[in-house]
Amino acid sequence: MAKPQLVCPAGSLAALKAAVDNGADDVYLGFRNDTNARNFAGLNFDDKSLAEGIRYAHQRGRKVLAAINTYAQAGRFADWTRSVDTAAKLGIDAVIIADPGVLDYAAQTYPDMRRHLSVQASATSYEAVNFCREKFGIQRAVLPRVLTLAQVENVISNTEVEIEVFGFGSLCVMNEGRCWLSSYATGESPNTVGACSPAKFVQWEKKPNEMDVRLNGILIDRYGNDENAGYPTICKGRFEVAGETYYAMEEPASLNVLAMLPEIIKIGVAAIKVEGRQRSPTYVAQVTRNLRQALDAAVAAPDKFAVKPVWAAELGKVSEGSQITLGAYNRPWR
């Protein structure tokens, strides 16, 4: 069985080096602007840090991918093409793009540069993937986290495009980045400004026995003094429904596919992606190191593979809400 590439996040140069040093095959990152879907203050790369990151990765035989994966806004298409130009100039190994117009620009202007279809494009069928191969020459597609493993296998069986799936990190219940809820509450969303629940709309109100967290005035959650307060996103807030308060849409939990790595490898997945460009270099190092060991073990002896307690414990420490799930991969219904 072919070994899938391990694709790890880098929100900073330190995180990039942590990913490379701990076994990532590919590292993905973004520029310091809203052409990428993790456009937070203090994250991402300018030209100087990106050049250094590419040098560091290439010297060690690793690849660097640039996420230019938001949708170009009216009157500003040049901002997105400029990011593609910068990626090409600096020697990026592949660009990860969702917007068809930006994909077309990259294909026409830099035909020899690899193009990956971003998860933001929400391509859930082999027809969608093959359309993008025919029109834009994509070589890899990142599938949304809404498909069962059988559905992923069906896509792989009907396309020549490499298929990448998420293996660890925060889940997204919306249309992979469009986030109608963030748009509704703030007028901004990951695919327009590159940030879910932009920080300027977040409000923390500390009270004697609790803390309220609001997004543009909307109460998202209320934490007791003994609870860890998470960053407020509407999909993972607690709401009162029919007199009961609970996580009405999604509980804070991290996707973790350790237990099903042999099955993922068997169906021909080309790459396994770790979510978390907004996370620390320590998170990147910890997740990369443990997934590298697990992935190597699953490839070497799939029939004997078992999740080691140390892998589970280490990944559990950095899981959202200290909870893990197999997400849609293992749901019994279609």
CATH of the domain at 10: 3.20.20.60
Would you say residue 331 has pLDDT above 80? no
Residue 114 is predicted with a pLDDT of 98
Both 203 and 272 in a single domain?
A: no
Let me know if 280 is exposed, middle or buried by CB neighbors in 10 A (0-12, 13-18, 19+).
middle
Of 212, 231, 247, the position where a domain reaches its end is 247
- Give the residue-averaged pLDDT of 104-130: 96
* pTM value > 0.85: yes
Would you say residue 176 has pLDDT above 70? no
Of 188, 216, 247, the position where a domain reaches its end is 247
Contact 221, 250 (CB under 8 A): no
- Give the residue-averaged pLDDT of 135-164: 96
Both 189 and 151 in a single domain?
A: no
Residue 235 is predicted with a pLDDT of 84
Please state the domain count of the chain: 2
Both 132 and 36 in a single domain?
A: yes
- Give the residue-averaged pLDDT of 234-245: 89
- Give the residue-averaged pLDDT of 103-122: 96
More confident residue, 288 or 199: 288
- What does the block give as tokens for 273? 């992606």
More confident residue, 198 or 116: 116
Query: In this structure, what are the phi and psi dihedrals at residue 167, rounded to the nearest 5 degrees?
Result: -120, -20
Q: Which of 33, 46, 112 is nearest to 72 (CA)?
A: 33
pLDDT grade, residue 248 (50/70/90)? confident
Would you say residue 308 has pLDDT above 90? yes
Share of the chain above pLDDT 90, in %: 70
Contact 233, 123 (CB under 8 A): no
Share of the chain above pLDDT 70, in %: 94
**Mean pLDDT taken over the chain:** 91
Both 87 and 235 in a single domain?
A: no
Q: Is the dihedral of CA 223, 228, 233, 236 positive or negative?
A: negative
Q: For residues 333 and 167, give the distance between their C-alpha atoms in angstroms, rounded to a whole number.
A: 20
Both 205 and 319 in a single domain?
A: no
Highest mean pLDDT among 5-14, 206-215, 226-235: 5-14
- What does the block give as tokens for 263? 């099955």
Of 247, 270, 298, the position where a domain reaches its end is 247
Residue 333 is predicted with a pLDDT of 46
- What does the block give as tokens for 20? 């490379």
